Amino acid sequence: MFDATSEKEFPLKGYSLPLSPKGQTSIVDAPPWYYGGEVLCLTFEADEREVRALIPPPLEMGPNPGQGAVWFVEWVSASEARPDLAFINPERSLYRECFVVVGCQHNGVPGSFVSYIWVDNDFTLARGVIQGFPKKLGRIYITRLHELTPKIGGRQGGAKVKGICDVNAQRIVEGSMTFTHPSKPSELPPVRFYLMRHFPSIEDPTRPSVHELTVATVSDVKIKDVWVGDSQIKFFESPFEEVADLGPVKDQGAFFFSMGLTITGGKVIHKYV
Amino acid sequence: MFDATSEKEFPLKGYSLPLSPKGQTSIVDAPPWYYGGEVLCLTFEADEREVRALIPPPLEMGPNPGQGAVWFVEWVSASEARPDLAFINPERSLYRECFVVVGCQHNGVPGSFVSYIWVDNDFTLARGVIQGFPKKLGRIYITRLHELTPKIGGRQGGAKVKGICDVNAQRIVEGSMTFTHPSKPSELPPVRFYLMRHFPSIEDPTRPSVHELTVATVSDVKIKDVWVGDSQIKFFESPFEEVADLGPVKDQGAFFFSMGLTITGGKVIHKYV
Amino acid sequence: MFDATSEKEFPLKGYSLPLSPKGQTSIVDAPPWYYGGEVLCLTFEADEREVRALIPPPLEMGPNPGQGAVWFVEWVSASEARPDLAFINPERSLYRECFVVVGCQHNGVPGSFVSYIWVDNDFTLARGVIQGFPKKLGRIYITRLHELTPKIGGRQGGAKVKGICDVNAQRIVEGSMTFTHPSKPSELPPVRFYLMRHFPSIEDPTRPSVHELTVATVSDVKIKDVWVGDSQIKFFESPFEEVADLGPVKDQGAFFFSMGLTITGGKVIHKYV
Amino acid sequence: MFDATSEKEFPLKGYSLPLSPKGQTSIVDAPPWYYGGEVLCLTFEADEREVRALIPPPLEMGPNPGQGAVWFVEWVSASEARPDLAFINPERSLYRECFVVVGCQHNGVPGSFVSYIWVDNDFTLARGVIQGFPKKLGRIYITRLHELTPKIGGRQGGAKVKGICDVNAQRIVEGSMTFTHPSKPSELPPVRFYLMRHFPSIEDPTRPSVHELTVATVSDVKIKDVWVGDSQIKFFESPFEEVADLGPVKDQGAFFFSMGLTITGGKVIHKYV
């Protein structure tokens, strides 16, 4: 565990606030972080100008300008520092999120920039911000398929799932998928997220203390039970959100799959300050 | 859908409040109700006197006096009236519950009386009360196993799951299980719940409008992926709960399994008023 | 506290489920119930046919057909059985609600029928249903004025408050008021709520066990700090609600005030079964 | 509103993540921030060694070693950038928090270090972390006095209020006060909070990107309706918290008052990196 300073008398430990004598209070433990979950990924094509407006230089428009995706995910997560977390405190190992990405590239390497993301748990909000995911809290609901529930059933042709993201007492994002056929992990679009870390100064609001682009260091990606289907995305207006400026978008199909992975940290690829 | 009165001009429809012109506002739709979920069932043996105090006559102590169980369940549910519910509104098809039962019998037929139950969604609170489950709201957390999450993994020997029930800002019930070996549905203890419907009068608090014992009419029970394991149950004191009076209890082992079923209604077996 | 049966051996006590040996687990204690809170009451005039569709006979259209109101209230509540509740467990003494009433009359006595109501706490959901308020859970947000918060301030001319009701991940009702001038309690419209108790049978979904009209027995009403203002009401569509069928409505002005009262029970004025 | 970079083509605006084309999505707006609320402040004396362990150098033990306080506050808040926030979205202007401070000094200026703090809203979690408050989410409940609620009543001798902080399904802090007599703002202990900003690196978990001590720049402090009373503080053990290491503490009395203030930013008084 991290000793926050080299002065030997510094008494507070931890990877993130709150630091404490024993270092067990941090809202987020240090990586590696472990993830496994069910992913509903809905792809879209939006107006090129709207997508361009979301891409911070030096990132550039991607090879397929206007493309993007909405992800709804339910994660089971833990960290190396607390491998028993899901047992000791289930609340801190389970969360749902909804995020919106737009296609971009960096030095010719295509990927996606994560513009907006909402989650339903505090530790992942903090963990996201440390990585450069611009997380806010929302209430995320995703259809759970269950093969033993009559009239609902499991992953199968014709199954329908919906993700809903409700933020500050208002529905913001809705994404629906109708399963058409099973597929293979190799059919999924490649995933490379460009992220923006940003931490304001308290002395000068116009000059952030941290402002940089990063990519996560990901390993051990495993994907299973992939389904392909038809999709429908709706964005809704709000005085506190701008995601609706992307749409209406052209629906480009959806994927539903199980995924596991490890994040061991990240790499800064550009510093603004 | 139910027409609340035979007078032809009665304009409000629905199975439960709120009744409305189109009948689509009821907090609960009429049965049949469909269920599928993951069950953590922890068995215990408590002091016979404490169990006896929980059993309302004409129910009698069961053949194994003092036995009981704690269930933590995460359900995916729908109703015949709205088979698309899990798609249209995922929030209303998913809930978690924790309940405590004690062994009893009725006319020689052994079963369990459901003494206490907490859930995390309103429609199931209302649906439960209609059946005779004495539901209150709580925050229920249950370890989610996921085979793709490193360090957590799926159902396997050594896997550990915990259920936590937090009510009114206080932890009330905690149940832990360590998986030892897979088992078969036939090894599970039989399930027959005795329930008590009770609806107060608004004119006289000492004479309820409804007070009766019931059993649910259950069909299409399916059980899969059964695991057996060691268990540990803890009850905690609260000024608003009495479940802690049962313990400390003797842990008798636990089961984890997937279950699906249909409830088509219930039968009244005794009327108090 | 209520002894649920006269048979002396009946071991379970309480006013409402769950009944228990000591009678301290009931989701709701017996009346009298005490209330004090801040009320935002927005009046409207709707299409007469839509209002008529909401009024269950023998209730009849009121003397001012089409009139109705939306109430947003934040309550501090306790009961005679637990006068210390607000101290022992603040969570169980505080709640917010949003409800919609339409003008009606019974035997020539004008009042309002409570068509829809959402609350954010379980005990008041149960307490409401016992009285005949058709409560469901929702997330209710109401502007809190505070005289010491710069830019917000207290109750004063020009102050603006909004109530929002979000149900199942969807905004359902929104009501805004701009304060114009202080007023007196005597200027408030009289309040008399007609309520419908309804508790389904578990054996036959078409024949409820309880179905009756009631009025609450209210005493010690105190009203303070009344303001009058302009209003704006919006209802939103949902597959699980019908309140939007009332609108768009004609806004008729709003009141904001503090109110205290005691409910000692209720009177049944009509039985359907 | 802040333009995140001086390069003229940088398209994303805002004070904090998420940055966006119009700058209206930030989880927190730039200061000034406005506050008004009700404060329950409970003072204590703890073991000196435990308090010393919480004070990061160059902060030093305060003039009254071992002293500290627990604050429960319900805030109504807004920002200069969105003065209408409480009207547009009540959810984002209301929050409750519980925090624990210990006495310290810096260059001879006494104050308190904020060791632990839990809040119930995301924007204030982010706003706190930017200032150096080590916020996590919790469920905070505080008795609301209301002069019109029978059996509860308003601020008066004998009134009793309790604050409860429940984190990750476990009660962590509880503070009770019994009102004895009214007092004056001048009788309140002076308030000066020392805060620690800390933002981890994503490349090296042992070297934070930001680590510094700050004090907030506070103006327009207004205090009203001060009451003094007896107090009782309880801390509870948790695998994710260390606040219980402070106690049992010696209760030193409590204050209840209304407070308003403006925070216009902060000053860094020490940099660790």
Give the residue on D whose Cα is nearest the Cα of A169: D91
Contacts of D107 (CB under 8 A, 6+ apart): none
Minimal CA–CA distance to D111: which of D73, D41, D61, D58?
Answer: D61
Instruction: Tell me whether residues B34 and A151 touch, CB distance under 8 A.
Output: yes
The pairing of strands A193-199 and A109-119 is parallel
Which three-class secondary structure state does DSSP give residue B44? strand
| Contacts with A170 from chain C: Cβ below 8 Å | 166, 171
Burial of B62 by CB count in 10 Å (0-12 exposed, 13-18 middle, 19+ buried)? buried
Instruction: Give pLDDT, residue A9.
Output: 66
**Min distance A166 CA to chain C CA atoms (Å):** 5
Alpha-carbon radius of gyration of chain B: 19
Q: Is D207 on the interface with C (CB under 8 A)?
A: no
Instruction: Tell me whether residues A89 and D21 touch, CB distance under 8 A.
Output: no
**Min distance B248 CA to chain C CA atoms (Å):** 17
Phi, psi values for residue C205, rounded to 5°: -65, -15
Q: Which residue has the tokens 């308020």?
A: C133
Interatomic CA distance for residues C159 and A107, integer angstroms: 53
DSSP label at residue B111? E
Interatomic CA distance for residues C70 and C59, integer angstroms: 20
| pLDDT band, very low/low/confident/very high, at A184 (cuts 50, 70, 90) | very high
Q: What stretch of H or E contains B125?
A: helix B122-131
Instruction: Give pLDDT, residue C5.
Output: 44
Q: What is the 3-state secondary structure (H, E, C) of A17-53?
A: CCCECCCCCCCCCCCCEEEEEEEEEEEEECCHHHHHC
Phi, psi values for residue A37, rounded to 5°: -170, -175
Interatomic CA distance for residues A24 and D116, integer angstroms: 12
Q: Is A272 on the interface with B (CB under 8 A)?
A: no
Report the length, in residues, of chain B: 273
Instruction: Give pLDDT, residue B1.
Output: 31
Instruction: Tell me whether residues A203 and D268 touch, CB distance under 8 A.
Output: yes
What would the pLDDT profile of A143-167 be if each residue is shown by its tens digit? 999 999 999 999 999 999 999 999 9
Give the residue on A whose Cα is nearest the Cα of B258: A148
Cα–Cα distances (Å) from D152 to A73, B267, D147, in that order, read 45, 44, 7
Instruction: Give pLDDT, residue A10.
Output: 79
Percent of chain C at pLDDT > 70 equals 97
Q: Which of residues 45-64 of C touch B (CB under 8 A)?
A: 52-57
**Min distance A222 CA to chain C CA atoms (Å):** 32
CB contacts < 8 A (A, B): 133
Instruction: Tell me whether residues C166 and A166 touch, CB distance under 8 A.
Output: yes
Kindly state the average pLDDT of the residues C132-151.
97
| pTM, full prediction | 0.96
Which three-class secondary structure state does DSSP give residue D214? strand
Give yes or no for residue C178 having a pLDDT over 60. yes
Residue type, B152: I
Residue type, D250: K
Report the residue of B202, B211, B243, B264 to disrupt the C interface, i.e. the one with the largest count of C CBs within 10 Å: B202
Instruction: Give pLDDT, residue C201.
Output: 97
Interatomic CA distance for residues D134 and A16, integer angstroms: 9
CB atoms within 10 A of CB A151: 17
Give yes or no for residue A75 having a pLDDT over 80. yes
Give yes or no for residue C176 having a pLDDT over 70. yes
Q: What is the DSSP string of A226-241?
A: EEEEEEEEEE--BTTB
Instruction: Give pLDDT, residue C45.
Output: 98
Q: Is B73 on the interface with A (CB under 8 A)?
A: no
Q: Is A84 on the interface with B (CB under 8 A)?
A: yes
Q: Which residue has the tokens 């509104």?
A: B89
Structure token digits, residue C104: 């009606």
**Per the omega criterion (within 30 degrees of 0), is the bond before C56 cis?**
no
What would the pLDDT profile of B2-49 be if each residue is shown by its tens digit? 344 444 567 899 999 999 999 999 999 999 999 999 999 999 999 999
Cα–Cα distances (Å) from C143 to B6, C120, C137, C184, D95, in that order, read 44, 16, 19, 22, 12
| Contacts with A213 from chain D: Cβ below 8 Å | none
Minimal CA–CA distance to A182: which of A162, A163, A159?
Answer: A159
Which three-class secondary structure state does DSSP give residue A244? helix
The minimal CB distance from B143 to the residues A86, A224, A258 is found for A86
Residue by residue, pLDDT tens for chain B (273 residues) are 334 444 456 789 999 999 999 999 999 999 999 999 999 999 999 999 999 999 999 999 999 999 999 999 999 999 999 999 999 999 999 999 999 999 999 999 999 999 999 999 999 999 999 999 999 999 999 999 999 999 999 999 999 999 999 999 999 999 999 999 999 999 998 899 999 999 999 999 999 999 999 999 999 999 999 999 999 999 999 999 999 999 899 999 999 999 999 999 999 999 999
Chains that touch C (3 or more CB pairs under 8 A): A, B, D
Cβ–Cβ < 8 Å for B17, C115: no
Cα–Cα distances (Å) from A120 to A82, A140, C232, D98, in that order, read 20, 7, 32, 21
| Contacts with C214 from chain B: Cβ below 8 Å | 202
Q: Which of residues 170-189 of A touch C (CB under 8 A)?
A: 170-171
Minimal CA–CA distance to C46: which of C196, C198, C235, C207?
Answer: C235
Percent of chain A at pLDDT > 70 equals 97
Give the residue on B whose Cα is nearest the Cα of C240: B25
Kindly state the average pLDDT of the residues C166-172.
95
Instruction: Give pLDDT, residue B10.
Output: 79
Cβ–Cβ < 8 Å for D224, D185: yes
Report the length, in residues, of chain D: 273
Give yes or no for residue A107 having a pLDDT over 60. yes
Phi, psi values for residue B230, rounded to 5°: -85, 155
Instruction: Give pLDDT, residue A152.
Output: 96
The torsion defined by the Cα of C40, C41, C44 and C48, in degrees rounded to 10, comes to 130
What would the pLDDT profile of B114-133 be if each residue is shown by its tens digit? 999 999 999 999 999 999 99
Q: Is C132 on the interface with D (CB under 8 A)?
A: no
Q: Is C143 on the interface with A (CB under 8 A)?
A: no
**Min distance D195 CA to chain A CA atoms (Å):** 11
Instruction: Tell me whether residues C149 and D88 touch, CB distance under 8 A.
Output: no
Across-strand partners of D194? Answer: D113, D215
Instruction: Give pLDDT, residue B244.
Output: 98
Report the length, in residues, of chain C: 273
Instruction: Give pLDDT, residue C8.
Output: 53
Q: Which residue has the tokens 């071992």?
A: D66
Instruction: Tell me whether residues A34 and B258 touch, CB distance under 8 A.
Output: no
Kindly state the average pLDDT of the residues C253-265.
98
Which three-class secondary structure state does DSSP give residue A132? coil
Instruction: Give pLDDT, residue A268.
Output: 98
Structure token digits, residue A107: 């030095």
Give yes or no for residue A243 having a pLDDT over 50. yes
Interatomic CA distance for residues C44 and C249, integer angstroms: 6
Minimal CA–CA distance to C71: which of C231, C242, C268?
Answer: C231
The minimal CB distance from B76 to the residues A149, A162, A222 is found for A149
Interatomic CA distance for residues A199 and A17, integer angstroms: 14
Q: Is C218 on the interface with B (CB under 8 A)?
A: no
Minimal CA–CA distance to A20: which of B226, C67, D115?
Answer: D115
| Contacts with C84 from chain D: Cβ below 8 Å | 160
Which three-class secondary structure state does DSSP give residue D259? strand
The minimal CB distance from D162 to the residues C90, C144, C258 is found for C90
Q: Which ranges of chain D have pLDDT less than 70?
A: 1-9
Instruction: Tell me whether residues A25 and D132 touch, CB distance under 8 A.
Output: no
Percent of chain A at pLDDT > 90 equals 95
The minimal CB distance from A205 to the residues D15, D18, D267 is found for D15
Q: Is D259 on the interface with C (CB under 8 A)?
A: yes
Give yes or no for residue C6 having a pLDDT over 80. no
Kindly state the average pLDDT of the residues C5-25.
85
Q: Is C202 on the interface with B (CB under 8 A)?
A: yes
Q: Is A264 on the interface with B (CB under 8 A)?
A: no
Residue type, C218: V
Interatomic CA distance for residues D91 and C164, integer angstroms: 9
CB contacts < 8 A (A, D): 210
